[in-house]
Amino acid sequence: MNEETIKLLEKRRSLRSFSDAPIEKEVLDKMKRLTLRAPSAGNMNMFSIVEVTDPAIKKELSVLCDNQLMIAKAPGVWVFVADMERWYNWMKKGGSEERIGKPVRQPGIGDFHLCMQDAIITAHNAVIAAEALGMGSCYIGDVIENYEKMQKLLNLPSLAAPAAMIIFGYPKAEATAPMTLRPEPEYFFMENGYRVQTPEECLKMYEKHEDSYRARGVLPNNNTGTYADYYFNRKYSSEFMDEMNRSAEVFIRRWCEEEKK
């Protein structure tokens, strides 16, 4: 048993406030190598990582990602891209069609999904690597918003779609807030097949979350609402979720439909 790894997984938490200390080159190089040890479908590594070092681009990203200013202040900013561009061009322009004797088809939604899996799994290796190197990190889900502007800012071709983003660096101070809660494993692990859960089960599943939100006085309807009401009101029906859905539809359509030269 590797106790250190177990401890690392138990203690990982999102970090949103970073020390000004720069990340040393050797540490960053190590993090890159560890990141790339992630498993990858067919070992084709269908992702790229845009490493944002330009403060002006970090600032712009922070605006595009729902005005999260911590992005502009983060020492490390990596955007993980689901990348079929590299392989598609290599196969198409590198002569594979002629040598193999069949056309290179337009990438489809299955390719998209596989590239996404590669990119996101790699992103999480980066999160764990950062942790092991004494840093902390936070995912930024809003990277899939504002696709047209994001695409221009990061120079993304149609077959390189935003998949995930992490910001990382050394912690400013020792974390004091309690760890975030998780429901018990029995609610997520469904033996030998899916089991639909009733609202009553969900209430039980998220009982502790609800208690802690109630204690903070943040549930809707004068604090009488459920945790589902909170999620529905603050996230699911928010403008940023509408924008995420619009933006993701644009990049998925472009991926599948755009005629390649």
Ligand X SMILES: Cc1cc2nc3c(=O)[nH]c(=O)nc-3n(C[C@H](O)[C@H](O)[C@H](O)COP(=O)(O)O)c2cc1C
Distance CA 123, CA 32 (A): 11
**Which three-class secondary structure state does DSSP give residue 229?**
helix
From CA 182, how far away is CA 164, in angstroms rounded? 22
Size of the residue set binding ligand X (CB under 6 A):
10
Cβ 205 vs Cβ 181: under 8 Å: no
List the x/- string, 107-146, binding to ligand X by CB under 6 A: -------------------------------xxxxx----
User: CB of 186: closest distance to ligand X in angstroms?
Assistant: 20
Binding letters toward ligand X, positions 12-31, x by CB under 6 A? -xx-x---------------
Listed ranges 8-16, 110-118, 128-136, 252-260: which one lies at the site for ligand X (CB under 6 A): 8-16
* Smallest separation (angstroms) from ligand X to the CB of 189: 19
Residue nearest to ligand X (CB): 141
What is the smallest separation between the CB atom of 103 and ligand X, expressed in angstroms? Answer: 36
Footprint (CB under 6 A) of ligand X, residues 56-85: 68
| CB nearer to ligand X: pick between 64 and 156 | 64
Contacts of ligand X in 185-244 (CB under 6 A): none
CB of residue 26 to ligand X, shortest distance in Å: 27
Q: How far is the CB of 15 from ligand X (least distance, A)?
A: 8
Of residues 96 and 125, the one with the C-beta less far from ligand X: 125
* One residue of 180, 192, 222, 224 binding ligand X per CB under 6 A: 180
How far apart are CB 74 and ligand X at their closest, in Å? 11
User: Site residues (CB under 6 A) for ligand X?
Assistant: 13-14, 16, 68, 138-142, 180
